[in-house]
Amino acid sequence: MKIEEVEIPDETFNEVRNLLIEKARVHGMFYYSELSKLITTDRIPHHSPKMSQILGAISTYEALNDRPLLSVIVISICGNDIAPSHGFKPIADRFRKYTNFDDLVTKEMKSAHAFWMDDGNYNDNRDVA
């Protein structure tokens, strides 16, 4: 899968996207470290630029197909804050209009969960076109 200038093997893109979809379906979230351990098609440390590239490519793909920014469900803990990492903001800036970033994160998280929990959306959109 090539989204803009980032080349990501299709099997890795599909695997990570499917992991996110399945987690969203059960109203869940991933920590970056947890997601990294589940990926079998490639070795991707949770703190690596490659992880950011894959998650950015997935949310770009979702936005271009008029769906919620799926990578919003991948979170990190920074002090008392639990939120997507700093790599999520450029994607949100590109595809969403907002005045308060925290409100946008909450809205996107609710939207991602609701969208993928819906069986019709799941059946119609889980496979990469």
* 3-state DSSP assignment of residue 75: strand
Please name the residues in contact with 9: beta carbons below 8 A apart, sequence gap of 6 or more: 1, 41, 42
Q: How far is CA 106 from CA 23, 49, 88, in A?
A: 16, 24, 13
Whole-number Å distance between alpha carbons of 68 and 119: 16
Please, what are the averages of pLDDT over each run of 10 residues along the chain (129 residues)? 66 96 97 95 88 93 96 85 83 93 93 98 92
Which is nearest to 114 in space by CA: 76, 55, 72? 72
Can you say how many angstroms the Cα of residue 90 is from the centroid of all Cα atoms in its chain?
13
Confidence at residue 4, expressed as pLDDT on a 0 to 100 scale: 52
pLDDT at 71: 96
27, 42, 43, 86, 126 from 37: Cα distances, Å = 20, 10, 9, 21, 22
State how far the Cα of 101 lies from the Cα of 4, in Å rounded to an integer: 24
* Residue 1, pLDDT score: 56
Q: Where are the domains of the chain?
A: 2-121
